Structure 1
């Protein structure tokens, strides 16, 4: 209580100053917190951009223009195709088959799906429900995989060990382009680039080579770590210029076209017009081009 006749102006002035100090301090704290949050957000965005990874050493680099045959529908039962390289299924083929191909002077790529769950594979029970995304359109029994999952990566390491133990010279990991499809998992280009580079590093330490399957959007971020490209239908979709970066780098593009369409899988030859359309694809100069049935059985024609 203030005595009569005594001014309260000094106390009121100090009280006002104190309130201003508290208010300014609170504002400074708020600005600092917002700045940190914004900085973290920008950092997160930057980290999610695809990043190029330095290449890891590998022994075998096939030459651009190498010939190849791809057959992944069943166990290899025909080696009559005169090709430098055979691309065959990792699960269906034995070490003895691969050894025989080596004796015949061929190199062997072992195919497996690195980005999709397949309900007929031997290790299918090892995947968790949380690893699985949307169905692959047009491919019954397949679902997109969460390539950021530690469990998925553990399974892929086991597959790479199998490829090494069977004597594969390289691996052909398919379906790494989930980011470009309705995957149901929120996968991005950055996820794909990180995963492909991780796969390459793990492949190389097992003394095998690796190529990029399709996924043209991430080529700039992974090409130094790749030894080749496997591309499907760049001629049909007018995308071959994208994959020509591998030729420019002295690395082969194993190029597959399906001139018979999605539903015809037979042993009949393609028409002259179909062959002309494939072999004259814009931008595919220097590619190792083959024509195949969509089911990738042993039927093949070359340009």
Structure 2
């Protein structure tokens, strides 16, 4: 379940965000992160689903939802727990399915947990049984971490999912136990976005707003938690360096979740920004579902 505990009360300041962007462009030569790969288009294995700017959605991770479903166009569900039959049932109801996987954290209850080497397991990310990952491993030629994540993407594809949500891909802004940089994170996120596209699935950027200018060409939309609460939704709010409105300007949808704010306090803003805003329960158990439009 997915609100990554924040170390900061709001967003990273605009000056720090500019420093992060600079790190992506010019990392030190001694142990430089590889240059970002070129974006891979999502059409290598056939037509991909590209959601419209205005796409209704529901997000249920605590359990696998069953019919009858809410009247929405998209469901985001746990990729491990959902079966091919569950995805087929969503499709039969005219609903697209998004495969939630944690790409930046180890989860000790997952079926592939034994494949993670202890050397890439870091500090707890604040959720029971979860630890941050040393995402720099993906830069190695025979990366075990990339093999694990690609196997997860293969799982999503084999079950028939249309899109992927990669969670916990902002470790560099947290105390992971590793000296991760913005460049490390951008390389990791771009690599997995490309790997999703290569499998015929579109992919959402989850949080990591500070790197939107770098990552937007690799992703097909964004999923964010609480940008209204933390006042980091738009480029104007962040001092002109990054914002979810940059996805909308590129014709890509933004799926925005709030937990603590009332719909009356954030929906008018989300609607003006053309975000698909919804109020959910924090544990994403489908007990609260209040869409803005």
Structure 2 partner of 1:72: 61
CA contact (8 A) 2:27 2:33 kept: no
Q: Which runs of 5+ in 1 are unaligned?
A: 1-40, 261-273
Is 1:54 matched with 2:39? yes
Query: Deviations 1:219-267 (Å, cap 9, x if unpaired)?
Result: 111211111100000000001101111111111001000027xxxxxxx
Structure 2 partner of 1:252: 253
Q: 1:55 to 1:279 in 2, by over 3 A?
A: same
The range that moved more, 93-102 or 75-84, is 75-84
Larger radius of gyration: 1
CA contact (8 A) 1:192 1:218 kept: no
CA contact (8 A) 1:240 1:283 kept: no
CA contact (8 A) 2:122 2:132 kept: yes
Deviation at 1:199, TM superposition (A): 0.6
Structure 2 partner of 1:101: 90
Q: How does 1:60-209 map to 2 (within 5 A)?
A: 60-137=49-126, 139-149=127-137, 150-209=143-202
TM-score (norm 2): 0.80
Structure 1 runs of 4+ off > 6 angstroms? none
Q: How many residues align?
A: 249
Q: Which runs of 5+ in 2 are unaligned?
A: 1-25, 138-142, 235-242
Query: Deviations 1:152-178 (Å, cap 9, x if unpaired)?
Result: 111101100100100000100100000
The secondary structure found in structure 2 opposite 1:240 is: coil
Select the structure that is richer in helix: 1
TM-score (norm 1): 0.77
Query: Deviations 1:58-105 (Å, cap 9, x if unpaired)?
Result: 322111011110101122235421111110000111101101111111
Distance (Å, rounded) in 2 between the aligned partners of 1:158 and 1:116: 15
Deviation at 1:54, TM superposition (A): 3.1
Distance (Å, rounded) in 2 between the aligned partners of 1:234 and 1:78: 31
